[in-house]
């Protein structure tokens, strides 16, 4: 039987479970990425989905006066396609303060980092996920995170036309 799930703001004690969820995606989150998640979690907003007392999905986001940027998001691979990722993005948008757009950067399909398991081709599902929520591709950022570690910038307008 499926357990019941709760979406709530992240707390410091959640960090080990958040890192465990991210670590379950080794082609997406290499050790440097895990360190960056921990650093961003310490200073930015976060939310988790808890099911039967365990964190099964998380998001970390950055807020400025004009933008909400999803910095990190993941659902445990055993819990995907159950709406958890979409619920977390909605949670972020609901916590906004009239920002004009939401942003996210994903790895491009050809992104790699020498000596790691990062595999940009594995981000096709991530791209489809954000596009299903209305995000659209803005531009490619060559070597954004490091040599050959290219990013795609996606945005979701949140403003009303004037
Ligand atoms: C991307 C990710 C967060 C999606 O989480 P999720 O909980 O499975 O997402 P949801 O169940 O809310 O999916 C919502 C919709 O997104 C789309 N979607 C999600 N994953 C998809 C995939 N792998 N391929 C194609 N479409 C996908 C579907 O339209 C889905 O709706 P459906 O299941 O009714 O068809 C999850 O796959 C993940 O953690 N990936 C690894 C980490 C990652 O890539 N993070 C983003 C980096 S920027």
pLDDT tens for residues 124-156?
A: 999 999 999 999 999 999 999 999 999 999 999
Q: What is the pLDDT of residue 162?
A: 77
Decide if 106 contacts 152 (C-beta within 8 A): yes
Distance 70 CA to ligand 1 centre (A): 14
In this structure, the number of other CB atoms found within 10 A of the CB of residue 70 comes to 23
Distance CA 112, CA 134 (A): 26
Q: Which residue has the higher pLDDT, 111 or 159?
A: 111
Choose one of 49, 80, 123 to mutate for the ligand 1 pocket test, by most ligand atoms within 8 angstroms of C-beta: 80
Q: What is the pLDDT of residue 2?
A: 62
pTM above 0.85?
A: yes
**Span 20-47, pLDDT tens digits:** 999 999 999 999 999 999 999 999 999 9
Question: Using 50, 70 and 90 to split pLDDT, how confident is the model at 159?
Answer: confident
Residue 19 reports pLDDT greater than 90: yes
Ligand 1 binding pocket includes 108 (Cβ within 6 Å): no
Domains of the chain: 5-157 (3.40.630.30)
Choose one of 82, 85, 153 to mutate for the ligand 1 pocket test, by most ligand atoms within 8 angstroms of C-beta: 85
Ligand 1 binding pocket includes 145 (Cβ within 6 Å): no
Q: What is the pLDDT of residue 74?
A: 98
The CA distances from residue 82 to 59, 60, 65, in Å, are 16, 19, 32
Q: Report the chain's terminal Cα–Cα distance, integer Å.
A: 49
Distance CA 160, CA 27 (A): 38
Ligand 1 binding pocket includes 85 (Cβ within 6 Å): yes
Distance CA 15, CA 40 (A): 11
Tokens of 38: 């921990």
Ligand 1 binding pocket includes 86 (Cβ within 6 Å): yes
Choose one of 61, 73, 81 to mutate for the ligand 1 pocket test, by most ligand atoms within 8 angstroms of C-beta: 81
Ligand 1 binding pocket includes 75 (Cβ within 6 Å): yes
Tokens of 25: 């995606």
HEC profile of the chain:
CCCCEEEEECCHHHHHHHHHHHHCCCCCCCHHHHHHHHHHHHHCEEEEEEECCEEEEEEEEEECCCEEEEEEEEECHHHCCCCHHHHHHHHHHHCCCCCCEEEEEEECCCCCCCCCCCCHHHHHHHHHHHHHCCCEEEEEEEEEEECCEEEEEEEEECCCCC
In this structure, the number of other CB atoms found within 10 A of the CB of residue 95 comes to 13
């Amino acid at each position: 039987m499926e357990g019941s799930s709760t979406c709530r703001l992240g707390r410091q004690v959640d960090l080990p479970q958040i890192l465990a969820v991210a670590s379950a995606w080794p082609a997406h989150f290499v050790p440097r990425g895990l360190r960056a998640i921990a650093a961003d979690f310490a200073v930015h907003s976060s939310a988790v989905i808890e099911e039967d007392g365990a964190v099964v999905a998380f998001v970390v986001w950055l807020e400025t006066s004009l933008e909400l940027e999803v910095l990190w998001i993941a659902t445990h691979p055993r819990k995907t396609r159950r709406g958890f990722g979409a619920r977390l993005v909605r949670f972020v948008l609901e916590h906004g303060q009239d920002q004009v757009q939401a942003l996210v950067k994903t790895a491009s399909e050809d992104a790699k980092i020498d000596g790691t398991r990062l595999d940009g081709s594995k981000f096709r599902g991530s791209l489809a996920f954000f596009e299903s929520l209305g995000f659209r591709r803005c531009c490619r950022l060559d070597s954004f995170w490091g040599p050959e570690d290219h990013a795609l910038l996606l945005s979701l307008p949140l403003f009303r036309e004037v």
